């Protein structure tokens, strides 16, 4: 039966989001750039490859351990550029504010956006503000759009192929669980903080040291790591194998997920990038990433395989193999 | 007394919006591009001047005579680029959707965005969708951001100065009143429809025919025509005089405004541009504009004067002079 109305899961980043895009947006807006479904659109201006991306943030609550909607809005868009190999240049910001919001709250958010912009090395160069009546929106929603410039030669020209390895720059699930804790929904005390961070600060040193070796990157936000793996191999003639014991997850995040019935592989992150890299340099790249503040807990977590084309397989702790599907439903709404 | 909370008027485009920007956003995000407060930020990429702009649309209701939130979202951003002399190239779109919205409604909006994109000659190349729970937002909010390319020589390099004339490409207030009519708030039957339109289709023929002659353009959206005039002359050593009898306003719009206590000079438009042009070519430009579908009712409505520096003066029907201040408060919330 075809659904008649929008569900929360249509914004969750998993299967329903994909259906929404493929069945409603793509047929209408059909053009080759949009159809690539990358983290950014890429086009040439005066011979330079430009990346352009947009993201709206509706996280609830506005403030949570390790971050708030302001720095999330900056890092989210900076990261969507950076994973395309584009150096983030300028951001726009569009606010929807609910009437009655205090200036104190607004100023906290603005200050946080400013600090995040400095850390990421970008400027917010244009903006827009709309106000809706009480009850017409929930506090603040922030859209950021961003422009970046792609330098030739940094990313690999070769497609992903068997033998490539998969690197993660740290622990999974911290962001989602930190937001849950701010909602008072954790069954235990925790020190878990969001991993929100400007990934360009770790991505470009890597690309500069290993030019032409990184085949693909994507930040593991809504839908989590497992959904990214599916996006990578869907419809391709290669498969993916990742090894559970190698995937970094904090012990307390693991414990909370166990208690609440979540799988950390599907929980949203805001400072984690999945890197597909030439197998020949994977160990050296790992060492280099581990020497950086945003990559201390980096790990090689898997590889591209000729087997299981189109599928992502998790080698479990007990040695079995489990298919990692795209996220279905939306386990944690309004996480970014 | 300093206000502690956000009012609807902070999103109205008038004095409160200006205060919000000047007292909260600019101090935090201070950079030279943002401080220009243009309709778009302008910067160079590889030697080309690029314009970048953003706008969020929260119009209520979503559908109204002559348009809907979809085409509004496309034209609004296309127009913000075009008035900077930038040919609109690509748009991004970010949706916030309330859980429970019907796909029928969403598809109507998407179809409308697609048709508007074709009319404007742009592509929507990247997007994002968030869903919030019932009551967390009001139907759909749409952000569009846009990139355009500025060709050298089309806009004047000279600053606005006395002797320049002011052209409007048609009647004022149609959009605001059309939205009110869709809210069922009109005291009489009317055929008033929104003027929402892609202004690039009238702006570029004008710039190409009169290169270097247009000093400044701005679309008269929130805050209306009078607020644009104030933005033009504020702090400058010239003044503005406009003549009431020359300003095109539909009779029925005039009648509705009289009944409801609105001033059409402050009502939002979505297809009207204020053009400051070299006085020597103003008459020829007017003729050319009138020959275009989007400019049939164009008029020369005033001029830049050495008198009354920093002020916009309206010469009324009865021959008096009235200072046109920036809009205070927000007479028509959620109009775009």
CB contact under 8 A, A132 and B334: yes
Please give the DSSP secondary-structure letter assigned to residue A24: I
Q: Minimal Cα distance from B81: which residue of A?
A: A126
- Digit-coded pLDDT (tens) for A231-287: 999 999 999 999 999 999 999 999 999 999 999 999 999 999 999 999 999 999 999
Helix (H) or strand (E) holding A4: none
Question: In terms of pTM, does the model score above 0.95?
Answer: yes
Q: Between A329 and B67, whose confidence is greater? A: B67
Please list every residue in chain A whose beta carbon sits closer than 8 Å to the beta carbon of residue B137: 58, 136-138, 141
pLDDT at B104 over 70: yes
**CA triplet A311, A315, A319: central angle to 5 degrees?**
140
> What CA–CA distance (Å, rounded) separates A50 from A57?
23
Q: Establish if A113 touches chain B: CB-CB under 8 angstroms.
A: yes
Q: Name the fold adopted by A165-323.
A: Phosphoribosyl-aminoimidazole Synthetase; Chain A, domain 2 (3.90.650)
Question: Looking at A220-272, which runs of residues are DSSP E strands?
Answer: 239-243
pLDDT at A134 over 70: yes
Percentage of residues of chain B with pLDDT beyond 70: 99
pLDDT for B93 equals 97
- Digit-coded pLDDT (tens) for B109-147: 999 999 999 999 999 999 999 999 999 999 999 999 999
Question: B323 CA to chain A: closest CA distance, Å?
Answer: 27
Segment among B6-20, B31-45, B94-108, B173-187 with least mean pLDDT: B31-45
Establish, for the pair of chains A and B, how many residue pairs have beta carbons separated by less than 8 Å: 283
Percentage of residues of chain A with pLDDT beyond 90: 89
C-alpha closest to that of A57 among A146, A143, A115, A135: A143
The mean of the pLDDT values for chain A is 95
Segment among A28-37, B200-209, B245-254 with least mean pLDDT: A28-37
ipTM, two decimals: 0.96
Please list every residue in chain A whose beta carbon sits closer than 8 Å to the beta carbon of residue B130: 11, 56-58, 141, 334
> What CA–CA distance (Å, rounded) separates B169 from B270?
12
Percentage of residues of chain A with pLDDT beyond 70: 99
Confidence of residue B30 (pLDDT cuts 50, 70, 90): confident
CB contact under 8 A, A103 and B6: yes
> What CA–CA distance (Å, rounded) separates A52 from A231?
20
CB contact under 8 A, B17 and A129: yes
Q: What is the CATH number of domain B38-150?
A: 3.30.1330.10
Q: Establish if B298 touches chain A: CB-CB under 8 angstroms.
A: no
Cis ω for the linkage preceding B265 (within 30 of 0):
no
pLDDT for B1 equals 58
pLDDT for A32 equals 85
Domain positions in chain A are: 38-150, 165-323
Q: Do domains B38-150 and B165-323 have the same CATH topology?
A: no
Q: Where does chain A have alpha helices with state H?
A: 15-20, 26-29, 32-35, 69-82, 103-120, 174-182, 200-209, 224-233, 251-260, 282-290
pLDDT for A1 equals 58
Question: B163 CA to chain A: closest CA distance, Å?
Answer: 31
Q: Where does B234-330 have alpha helices with state H?
A: 251-260, 282-290
Instruction: Select the residue of A54, A58, A130 nearest B93 (Cβ to Cβ).
Output: A54
- Digit-coded pLDDT (tens) for A183-223: 998 888 889 999 999 999 999 999 999 999 999 999 999 99
Please list every residue in chain B whose beta carbon sits closer than 8 Å to the beta carbon of residue A138: 132, 136-137
């Amino acid at each position: 039966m075809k659904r008649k109305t929008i569900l929360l899961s249509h914004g969750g980043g998993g299967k329903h989001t994909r259906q929404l895009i493929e069945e409603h947006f793509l047929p209408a807006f059909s053009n080759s750039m949009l159809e690539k479904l990358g983290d950014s659109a890429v086009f040439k201006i005066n011979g330079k490859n430009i990346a352009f991306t947009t993201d709206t943030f509706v996280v609830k609550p506005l403030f949570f351990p390790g971050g708030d909607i302001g720095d999330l809005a900056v890092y989210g868009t900076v990261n969507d550029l950076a994973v395309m190999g584009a150096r983030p240049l300028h951001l726009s910001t569009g606010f929807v504010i609910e009437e009655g919001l205090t200036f104190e709250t607004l100023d906290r958010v603005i200050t946080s956006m400013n600090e995040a912009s400095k850390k990421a090395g970008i400027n917010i160069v244009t903006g827009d503000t709309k106000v809706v009546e009480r009850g017409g929106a929930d506090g603040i929603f922030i859209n950021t759009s961003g422009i970046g410039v792609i330098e030739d030669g940094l990313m690999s020209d070769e497609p992903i192929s068997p033998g490539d390895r998969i690197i993660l720059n740290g622990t999974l699930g911290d962001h989602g669980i930190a937001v849950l804790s701010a909602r008072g929904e954790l069954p235990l005390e925790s020190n878990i903080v969001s991993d929100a961070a400007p990934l360009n600060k770790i991505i470009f040193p890597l690309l500069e040291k290993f030019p032409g070796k990184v085949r693909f990157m994507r930040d593991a936000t809504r839908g989590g790591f497992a959904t990214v793996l599916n996006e990578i191999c869907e419809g391709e003639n290669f498969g993916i194998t990742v090894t559970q014991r190698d995937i970094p997850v904090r012990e307390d995040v693991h414990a909370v997920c166990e208690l609440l019935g979540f799988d950390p592989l599907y929980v949203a992150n805001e400072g984690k990038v999945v890197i597909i890299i030439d197998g020949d340099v994977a160990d050296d790249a790992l060492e280099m990433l581990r020497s950086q503040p945003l990559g201390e807990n980096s790990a090689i977590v898997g590889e591209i395989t000729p087997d299981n084309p189109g599928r992502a397989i998790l080698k479990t702790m007990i040695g079995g193999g489990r298919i990692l599907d795209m996220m279905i439903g939306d386990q944690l709404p309004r996480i970014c």
